[in-house]
Amino acid sequence: MNAFDHKDEFAHVDIWVFDLDNTLYSPDCRLFDQIDEKMGLFIADRLSVDRVEARRIQKDFFFRYGTTLAGLMNEYNIEPEDFLPFVHDIDRSIIPHDEALDKAIGALPGKKFICTNGTVSHAQATLEEIGIDDHFEDIFDIKTFGYEPKPARTAYDAMLKAAGFNPQKAAMFEDIARNLVVPHDMGMKTVLITSSDNEDGAMINRLNGDDKNAHYVHHSTNQLSDFLNKITL
């Protein structure tokens, strides 16, 4: 399952769906650390707790609800428009421009989409910094999902309703294994992006018993551009 030995598995694919954070850029640039820090600050302030308790709440909600925001909305009635602009007000200049990924995504046949638990504005700004923003037809975000995040089935149903593509002709790329369960069940090819620097992804995969050997993960890679090149070259 993990050895990529021929590209004909993807010959039928003309829809390419990518998660954003820690998928289209490497976690080793530490961009998501800034978002992580801002979430802790928000929780400490809004819930009047210290930073240790704020972090405990933050991670508990992420693991149980799919996003910290979903937990805050469900348990504390936090408004997403209060939370999202604050946590995405970060310095994206630390993301390296990725010419190799730009070429690799550009060479893929068909349409490309973003499917993220973040926001359209965060995705657009991040894609621009990477240098790959002109490749994507549309961005499906937490608002598209009605604030019900991946891995919930409703999130993927909302994306399919909006985009109108056949999931059996699609491939999904994600850094968190549990977010590939539904795409697999829908008939998509699934690819897990792995990294030793992705602490949250690694932890949630361990806690759920999800890893690169799960039955719903067709392939795994720690080099996205190289993987995509093997499909097109």
What CATH number did the domain enclosing 193 receive? 3.40.50.1000
Examine the domain organization and report whether 104 and 184 are in the same domain.
yes
What was the pLDDT predicted at 224?
97
Q: Provide, rounded to the nearest whole percent, the portion of the chain with pLDDT above 70.
A: 91
Examine the domain organization and report whether 110 and 162 are in the same domain.
yes
Residues of the chain with pLDDT under 70: 1-6, 196-210
Residue range of the domain that includes 81: 31-87
58, 80, 66: which is closest to 154 by C-alpha?
A: 66
- Whether 102 is covered by a domain: the verdict is yes
Burial, 52: exposed, middle or buried (Cβ in 10 Å; 0-12, 13-18, 19+)?
Answer: exposed
One-letter identity of residue 11: A
- Whether 65 is covered by a domain: the verdict is yes
- Whether 2 is covered by a domain: the verdict is no
Q: What is the pTM of this model?
A: 0.93
Examine the domain organization and report whether 227 and 200 are in the same domain.
yes
- Whether 56 is covered by a domain: the verdict is yes
What was the pLDDT predicted at 58?
95
Residue that is last in its domain, among 70, 87, 104: 87
Token pair for residue 11?
């010959």
Examine the domain organization and report whether 115 and 128 are in the same domain.
yes
